[in-house]
Structure 1
Amino acid sequence: MALNFHQLHIFYTVAEKGSFSYAAQALHMTQPAVTMQVQSLEDYFGTKLFHRSTKKIELSEAGRTLLPFAKRSIDLIKETDISMSKFTHMLEGRLHLGASMTVGEYILPRLLGPFGKEYPNISISMKVINTRQILDEVLNHQLNFGIVEAEVHHPDVHVEAVMNDELMLIVPKDHPLADMPVVTLEEMLKYPFVLREQGSGTRTVMEEELARAGCDPGDMKIVMELGSTGAVKSAVEADLGISILSQSSLKHEAALGVLVVKKIEGVCFTRSFHAIYLNSTILPISAVTFLTFLRERDLSQWL
């Protein structure tokens, strides 16, 4: 029997998860299949890699020695996929991803067209939900990867910035702030707000930046919380309040003059959109190719 990467990946996942059943779930395999592959690896080396008990498993001395080599092999495969993805123009497959609201509604649709022209044999499926839901589905192995608006902090998740964005203040065209050359935080806070819901990336970034600027988000007069950027824009247009949203989502309304986009003095809501996926995941080559496309292309030509 020859040593193979598949077995090393399974071994590493079992070690990382601390459980054969959790590893099987992460790898979309049955538990007996995972156990069999680990046993085959143990047979190859002629030693036990785990100490098993009814309650838990622990790495043996041999397993602890093997673990960094297994991780290096996984990292090397990931690096290989990234390097080779730029040559895979005849690639076939399905790109299935999750995207948080602003990214999924306003950013990625402008990029999936050019990507699809370059890789016509990759079909695309995108699920649009908020950042918190994306993270939950990645952790529960319902999504391979997602692109989210707020930076995620979780020990099991790889997070990588792939695009940049900026949030801006929006007001109705006849609002008192619309004609002000400079809008201060103090002036802004005098008016009622319509905001995205808690858990959305836009809301999280806004609150974090306001706090850094010395403004307690709790001081905002929030009259409405809505579950989509489109709904927030409609509410602002109807003069129900003002808001802070991604400038990428405002081009149409700003061009028509129904909403006025303003900067806030002393505050810069710059942010990155992040790709997230499990540390133990080997992404399909279609996903690696798409992330390489986002990293290496001048996206401004489409945005």
Structure 2
Amino acid sequence: MALNVHQLHIFYTVAERGSFSAAAQTLHMTQPAVTMQVQALEERFGTKLLNRTTKKLELTEAGYRLLPQARKAVELMRDTDVLMIKFIENLKGRLQFAASLTIGEYVLPRLLGSFLRRFPEVSVDMKVMNTTEIIEAVAHQGLDFGIIEAPCDVPGFDTEPVMNDELMLVTPTNHPFASRTEVTLAEVIAEPLVLREKGSGTRQIMEEELLNHGVTEEQLRVVSEFGSTGAVKSAVEAGLGLSIISMWTIKHEIALGLLKPVKISGVSFRRQFFAVRLQSSLLPIPAAALLHDLRELSHEQ
């Protein structure tokens, strides 16, 4: 019997997730089906690969030796998917993933439009949630991947940059700054600011970059904080103050002449968006194709 790459993937997933039930969830299979495939692999090699106890699952010596080979097989399958995506003409299936607030509300809806026009038989189920919820959903609720605003270091997860973003100072169009292409950091500090709440990815990037230029949070004139980018934009439009937010979020307002982005001299609020997925997972082709498109878009920027 020839070695079954699918069985190697199942074995690798069981070993990484630590149980047959968790592996079944990741693989979108039933638990008995996962058990049967691992048993078939054990029969092929004539040895036990896993010791099953009531408390936990442990690799045998043979299982430890097989694990890196199984990992290589999974990586080869991923690389093959990436290689072949550029040749896809017809794509069907369901995309199930999650995105953090800024990405889910402002970035992906625009990008998904062109993707779905190319592949009209693909359906999308996108959940908008915070990073902690995304990690939980990918790990335990069967989502294919998540897109978040900062890298995460969670055991069992792979994180890769997929898109670029830049935060910009934003003013109402009747503000004196709106007639200029560039202002100084000292001028910005003197202005009232309306910002995203502390702990948000946008606020974190802003504070870190300002600190690099010797500006602490206490030096800022923060007059209001909001839990959503939409509220921040409305506050800026109403003249409550200026803000520093993602360029992705203000494209509509710029087109309507409601807001104006202005560069701060010598300051760059650049960041990346990251895709997170389980190390043991093989993405469905629709998911792999979407991530490929996001990477390509990032390279064009």
Same fold (TM over 0.5): yes
Residue of structure 2 in register with 1:22 after alignment = 22
Residue of structure 1 in register with 2:51 after alignment = 51
State how many pairs are aligned: 301
Counterpart code for 2:211: A
Does 138-147 or 62-71 show the bigger shift? 138-147
Q: CA deviation at 1:82?
A: 1.1
Cα distance in structure 2, aligned partners of 1:180 and 1:198: 29
Cα distance in structure 1, aligned partners of 2:101 and 2:266: 27
Counterpart code for 1:65: R
Give deviations 1:238-261, integer Å, cap 9, x for gaps: 122321111122233234443232
Give deviations 1:60-100, integer Å, cap 9, x for gaps: 21111100110011111111111111222112112232222
Give deviations 1:185-205, integer Å, cap 9, x for gaps: 343233443222345332232
Determine if the alignment matches structure 1 residue 270 to structure 2 residue 270.
yes
Q: Using a 3 Å threshold, how does the CA distance of structure 1 residues 246 and 67 change in structure 2: closer, same or farther?
A: same
Counterpart code for 1:103: I
Cα distance in structure 2, aligned partners of 1:186 and 1:291: 40
Cα distance in structure 1, aligned partners of 2:180 and 2:291: 41
Counterpart code for 2:135: L
Q: TM-score, normalised on structure 1?
A: 0.86
RMSD: 2.7
Q: Using a 3 Å threshold, how does the CA distance of structure 1 residues 145 and 235 change in structure 2: closer, same or farther?
A: same
Counterpart code for 2:251: K
Residue of structure 2 in register with 1:155 after alignment = 155
Q: TM-score, normalised on structure 2?
A: 0.87
Query: Does structure 2 retain, via aligned residues, the 8 Å contact 1:132–1:200?
Result: no
Percent of paired sites with the same residue: 57
Unaligned regions of 5+ residues in structure 2, if any? Answer: none
Determine if the alignment matches structure 1 residue 11 to structure 2 residue 14.
no
Determine if the alignment matches structure 1 residue 215 to structure 2 residue 215.
yes
Counterpart code for 2:210: L
Q: Using a 3 Å threshold, how does the CA distance of structure 1 residues 134 and 205 change in structure 2: closer, same or farther?
A: farther
Residue of structure 1 in register with 2:101 after alignment = 101
Cα distance in structure 1, aligned partners of 2:257 and 2:193: 20
Query: Does structure 1 retain, via aligned residues, the 8 Å contact 2:26–2:142?
Result: no
Unaligned regions of 5+ residues in structure 1, if any? Answer: none
User: Within 5 A, what are the aligned runs for 1:30-45?
Assistant: 30-45=30-45
Query: Does structure 2 retain, via aligned residues, the 8 Å contact 1:132–1:199?
Result: no
Cα distance in structure 1, aligned partners of 2:102 and 2:160: 18
Query: Does structure 2 retain, via aligned residues, the 8 Å contact 1:167–1:244?
Result: yes
Query: Does structure 1 retain, via aligned residues, the 8 Å contact 2:162–2:298?
Result: no
Q: CA deviation at 1:15?
A: 1.5
Residue of structure 2 in register with 1:87 after alignment = 87
Q: Using a 3 Å threshold, how does the CA distance of structure 1 residues 298 and 169 change in structure 2: closer, same or farther?
A: closer
Q: Using a 3 Å threshold, how does the CA distance of structure 1 residues 44 and 142 change in structure 2: closer, same or farther?
A: closer
Counterpart code for 2:159: V
Counterpart code for 2:64: R
Query: Does structure 2 retain, via aligned residues, the 8 Å contact 1:150–1:204?
Result: no
Cα distance in structure 1, aligned partners of 2:91 and 2:201: 32
Counterpart code for 1:172: P
Counterpart code for 1:194: V
Give deviations 1:3-46, integer Å, cap 9, x for gaps: 32222112112221233333333334444443333222212211
Query: Does structure 1 retain, via aligned residues, the 8 Å contact 2:180–2:262?
Result: no
Does 22-31 or 74-83 show the bigger shift? 22-31
Residue of structure 2 in register with 1:69 after alignment = 69
Residue of structure 2 in register with 1:287 after alignment = 287
Give deviations 1:87-132, integer Å, cap 9, x for gaps: 2211211223222233233322322222223222222332233444
Q: Using a 3 Å threshold, how does the CA distance of structure 1 residues 33 and 217 change in structure 2: closer, same or farther?
A: farther
Cα distance in structure 2, aligned partners of 1:196 and 1:12: 41
Cα distance in structure 1, aligned partners of 2:25 and 2:289: 25
Indicate the SS of the match to 1:290. Answer: helix
Cα distance in structure 1, aligned partners of 2:256 and 2:211: 33
Query: Does structure 2 retain, via aligned residues, the 8 Å contact 1:122–1:286?
Result: yes
Q: Using a 3 Å threshold, how does the CA distance of structure 1 residues 141 and 85 change in structure 2: closer, same or farther?
A: same
Cα distance in structure 2, aligned partners of 1:198 and 1:145: 26
Query: Does structure 2 retain, via aligned residues, the 8 Å contact 1:130–1:200?
Result: no
